[in-house]
Amino acid sequence: MLELPARIPEPLAHRLAAIRSRYPASDPDMVAGVVGAVLTTMRGDLSASDTALLHEVEELGRTIAAARAEIAALQVDDITASHIPSATDELDAIVAHTAGATNSILEVCETLDSVAGKLDGEAAAALQDATTRIYEACSFQDITGQRITKVVATLKAIDSKVAQILNTFSEAHGDSFRAPTPAVVVSPVPANGDPAAVGPQLPGNAMDQTDIDKLLASFD
Amino acid sequence: MSIDKSMNVLIVDDYKTMLRIIRNLLKQIEFNNVEEATDGAEALAKLRSGSFGLVISDWNMAPMTGLQLLQEVRADARLKGTPFIMITAESKTENVVAAKQAGVSNYIVKPFNAETLREKIEKVLGNA
């Protein structure tokens, strides 16, 4: 009588891992089916604990099949074909519109500055102080633009990860959840070892100018 | 110490809006000779073909970043003494440390105000 151990022996586990690395695109349904068929031929020789293990494997196969069906029902092609491009287009439009508005504001400010240059005393100073504050405020467009660029990169990374998962499920079956998408790398670290430029940090995670001044002073 | 405000200043940023803002802020503190570049490579070419008393650069640009521009400037025998201020949204410690190690003269984090810009310029040019 064939004895199936309650736990998979280490050599077998290594062997399974080696097979999986050689055939990364193996269809989970097919593997579950083969295991099920093999175990079925052994059913008469199995003990109670072996039968329980068999049920676990069968349940695993059903879970995989259900996951595949759910993913197919999600119509994930829409994510690539419509949702993500639409979201990134909307974000690009936000950047373009805010840039346009900011440039209009700057143009008016430049006119006010030239008027201030023709005035004297308090009026000139007050007008220039006002335009200075507007210039400072307009730098929001740079910061928001960088934040939006980070969001777009994140969306593309999610899109890429979803594609990798779907391809694992669909390749062996020839299913068409979607076409393979090249992996997206977000914020690569420069090859020369310099720290990557990651854009603005969220408030609370960032050093402010005072912190930076102290850090710089610590080098003196 | 008086500062020569007639010097040429090179400002470098890939956001045209930001270049316009910095140019106007510089004009308000009477730096009127301002040239612009939209990435490190263009900036380096302008620096090598011209004469500038101050560089104010963003970090996050392609194909050459502000940090790479700084490293190139410090490695160039003619340019290495040029005061160089980084104005950037990169506010992580490792970025500030890398810039300092590369020889940055001062570091301003975005968003910044006109007073900070004026103060850092005076400090850098006062030490030049």
Q: For residue range A10-38, list pLDDT tens digits in order.
A: 776 777 677 777 766 666 667 667 766 66
Closest residue by Cα to residue A190 from B45, B95, B35, B126: B95
Least CB-CB distance to A198: which of B68, B90, B93? B90
Could you tell me the two tokens for B120? 């850092």
Whether residue A4 is predicted with pLDDT greater than 50 in this model: the reply is no
Q: What is the pLDDT of residues B65-114, one digit of tens each?
A: 999 999 999 999 999 999 999 999 988 899 999 999 999 999 999 989 99
**Closest CB from A128, A145, A212 relative to B15:** A145
Q: Average model confidence (pLDDT) for chain B?
A: 94
Is there a contact between A215 and B97 if contact means CB atoms under 8 Å apart?
Answer: yes
Mean pLDDT value of segment B15-34: 94
CB contact under 8 A, A207 and B110: no
Average pLDDT, chain A: 78
Cβ distance B92 to A131 less than 8 Å, yes or no, reads no
Q: What is the pLDDT of residues A138-153, one digit of tens each?
A: 988 888 988 998 898 8
In whole angstroms, what is the distance from residue A79 CA to residue A101 CA?
31
Distance from CA of A125 to the nearest CA of B (A): 11
Checking if the pLDDT of B35 tops 90, the result is: yes
**What is the ipTM, given to two decimal places?**
0.87
CB contact set of A142 (below 8 Å; sequence gap of 6+): B13, B15, B17, B18, B89, B110, B111
Q: What is the DSSP string of A143-155?
A: HHHHHHHHHHHHH
Regarding predicted confidence, which is higher, B117 or A199?
Answer: B117
Q: What would the mean pLDDT of A120-141 be, rounded to a whole number?
A: 93
Specify the pLDDT at position A146.
87
Least confident span in A82-96, A108-122, A163-177, B103-117: A163-177
Substitution target from A209, A210, A211, A220 for chain B, most B beta carbons within 10 A: A209
Look up residue A52 and give its amino acid.
A
